[in-house]
Structure 1
Amino acid sequence: MKLLFDNQDVTDAICVYIADQYEGGIPEMVDDVRLCYTPSIGFTAIGEIYGEYNNLTEQDMIDAISTYLQIHHCFIPDCILVNLQYHSEIQGFGAEIIIER
């Protein structure tokens, strides 16, 4: 099965992932999420919760999407392959996700 995430889906997954790092944190408390792509570094993200900024690496972003799919859609994380994407023409982010059986 193949799923396509747009910019908002990726952002939602990051909010869930960051909130999960804090006891009592909920995704709605995560503010100022910024997604970045630079050829030399790859994908990164930053989000703020409780006044603290959390920097995410590309692997953290992949883990965030896998965690999101596990929590909200009951997918098994070990069966998820995530390919992050940056679309320069629209300056938007996305992900192509393959669910293996």
Structure 2
Amino acid sequence: MDKLPARFDDLIAQNQLPVLVDFWAEWCGPCHMLAPVVKELARQWKGRVTVIKINTDEKPELSQRFGISSIPTLILFKNGREVHRLSGAAPIERLRTEFEPHL
């Protein structure tokens, strides 16, 4: 049995910081466009949020579990619960507007 879902659950539930999860795939053009934006947000929000990437092709069970129907999709978890979700590539200003109120 794949142990990632249990580790994933531990990560989002036990992390002291909110966890921003970037669901992406290698073949996804918009995912590649969003990647440097997410990297920059991780830099700017260091100490305020933990950022992780989940490749939907490598971990389809997590994609299915969270109802990921389009990528890229960003989900912010706080205390183990989803608090905000955004699908599609977006500029950094929009991501800040969408997610900062939940940090």
What TM-score, normalized by structure 2, do the two folds share?
Answer: 0.29
**Larger RCO, structures 1/2 (Cα 8 Å, 6+ apart):** 2
Identify, as 1 or 2, the structure richer in helix.
Answer: 2
What TM-score, normalized by structure 1, do the two folds share?
Answer: 0.29
